[in-house]
Structure 1
Amino acid sequence: MLYSDLKGRKLVDTTSADTVGKVDGFLLDPATRSVVALEFKKTDHGSVVAWSDLTAVGADAVTVGGVSVVVEPDDRLADLATKDGTVLKKRVLSDAGEDLGSVHDIDLDPESGALLQLIVGEKKHRVSIAGSRLLGVGSYAVVVAHE
């Protein structure tokens, strides 16, 4: 599932059938190469939900079993939410020093949140880089292992 397809989806509480927010971002942990939380806007309860607290990531909505899982980020998640932790629009460099373009999107597993691919480059020249190649994310660039 592409993040660009997920952005803007409603967050629905399955216990009340209420919409409690909209997907506005994601928190990627480079160490585990996975999305560990989704960020939400337009919610009265907090701004993030840990991936493990999601009931489902479906074609039309993201669901949770109650609003209590919509929280403010703890220290670990807050660190991932900083400019250093974001990957979209950042340069992608190989560990051999090759500039591969900029991150346009990510492809993630809707079940586990695992990073499947980084989608890199301009519209006509996009390439996919396996998520397993991700080495780190910094303030300037995303670094991936050379092929």
Structure 2
Amino acid sequence: MLFSRTLGCPVLSASDASRVGTVAGLVVDPEHASISALRLTGVSSGGDVIPWSDVHAVGPDAVVVEALAAARFTSAAAPEVHNPLGKRLLTELGDLVGTVRDIAFDPESGAVGTLHTSRGEQVPGSGLLGLGSYAVVIRVVPGGGAHGITG
């Protein structure tokens, strides 16, 4: 699944198929190269962040969450969200290697598979070091290249 295909998807409750909200962003945990939560818009009650552990399924047309997921987090307790799409892609040595065009992730586990760059290259999720408001930072492998970039 791609980040870009998930943004804007409706989020539904598994118990009654009611609409909980709409996916506004995915919270990425760079340390584990995985998605840790969903940030929602249009939430009628409860918090606007749902932990990934409460995600039942991610499909091309909707995200389905456990029944009480919307009440788990509030905005105040939620981790900061930085949308990686369009961000500068820098190596840990400060070299610009493009921008993040999209991110592929496993819809079951939330593991980040690959970062797709504006230069048509792919970086394995295991190379992800950090994500902030300015850039996404990736590892450099010994020998000088960015971690596993493939064309």
Partner Cα separation in structure 2 for residue 86 and residue 12 of structure 1: 22
Q: Please give the root-mean-square deviation of Cα atoms over the aligned residues, in Å.
A: 1.7
User: Percent of pairs identical after alignment?
Assistant: 38
What's 1:90 paired with? 87
- Cα deviation code 1:31-80 (max 9, x no counterpart): 111110011111112211111011111232111221x21131464x33x3
Instruction: Identify which of 132, 136, 139 aligns with 1:142.
Output: 136
Partner Cα separation in structure 2 for residue 21 and residue 140 of structure 1: 28
What's 2:117 paired with? 120
Give how far 1:137 is off.
Answer: 2.1
Is residue 2:5 matched to residue 1:5? Answer: yes
Partner Cα separation in structure 2 for residue 38 and residue 49 of structure 1: 5
What's 2:106 paired with? 109
Partner Cα separation in structure 2 for residue 87 and residue 101 of structure 1: 12
TM-score (norm 1): 0.84
Q: How many residues are treated as equivalent by the alignment?
A: 138
Range 91-100 or range 128-137, more displaced: 91-100
Partner Cα separation in structure 2 for residue 141 and residue 4 of structure 1: 18
What's 1:72 paired with? 74
Matched residue SS, 1:100: strand
Unaligned runs of 5+ in 1: none
- 1:13-32 to structure 2, matched below 5 A, reads 13-32=13-32
Unaligned runs of 5+ in 2: 141-146
Shift in CA distance, 74/30, structure 1 to aligned 2, threshold 3 Å: farther
**Aligned AA (2:107):** P
Partner Cα separation in structure 2 for residue 54 and residue 140 of structure 1: 28
What's 2:60 paired with? 59
Query: Which structure shows the bigger proportion of residues in helix conformation?
Result: 1
TM-score (norm 2): 0.82
